[in-house]
Chain A
């Protein structure tokens, strides 16, 4: 059973602080990793994608990938109250073959609360 694990939280940080969100996955052949943000009652919105070991930065967001440890993280710098949402880690678990690009396996999400 391929699994993606996240701490459900809630994670509470003060405005302006760094929020650190973590995710582990079980399938070693996973190739693509994504962080989505989901506001209550809304659809997942892509925040970051990462495919290689190391860090990838985009504005206030940094994704980190360690394939040896099967670990993905998301750092949010200068956290804002508008960042309060559930953050979903998603992993593409299928290798590409034929007509398949694979599907996403999601974690349960970490609820982030940024206090003003």
Chain B
């Protein structure tokens, strides 16, 4: 069964360093998302991406964050200068075109990248 793939599973970095989290969405999906979950807290929306541009972003997604689809398969989240409070699980999700086989924005999540900022 197709799945969303995320790498690495765990990223350790020093405060102030740049990190890039990678995702390979399900191949026929057109909408891509990043969410994060700080330990013990709720899953929070960061950004959605469609047709090579950001569709929506939350207040969390400030100038330190950026997303890119560098090729036909990868979807990346970059954090330019990490802070301690960026430590969290980062989940990538994808969904098919609205209405495809009756789906209504069903989002499928990858296994996540645990980011630890020291």
Report which A residues bind B (CB closer than 8 A): 31-32, 34, 36, 42-46, 49, 51, 88, 90, 92, 94, 96, 98-109
Contacts and interface: CB of A to CB of B under 8 A. Distances in A.
Top 4 nearest A-B pairs (CB, nearest first) are A99-B50, A106-B43, A103-B45, A43-B109
Nearest to B54: A99
Interface in B94-114: 95, 98, 104-112
Given A99-B50, A99-B53, A100-B48, A32 B43 contact: no
B43 A88 contact: yes
User: Chain B interface mostly helix, strand, loop or mixed?
Assistant: strand
Interface of B: 31, 33, 35, 41-45, 48, 50-51, 53, 55-56, 58, 89, 91, 95, 98, 104-112
Contacts of B104: 31-32, 49, 51, 92
A99 B55 contact: yes
Interface centre among B33, B35, B43, B48 (most CB of A within 10 A): B43
Contacts of B50: 99-101
Nearest to B96: A101
Contacts, number: 69
B36 to A, nearest CB: 11
A101 B31 contact: yes
A43 B42 contact: no
Contacts of A96: 98
B110 A92 contact: no
B44 A44 contact: no
A107 B43 CA distance: 8
Nearest to B40: A108
A88 B95 CA distance: 18
Given A43-B91, A103-B56, A106-B43, A49 B111 contact: no
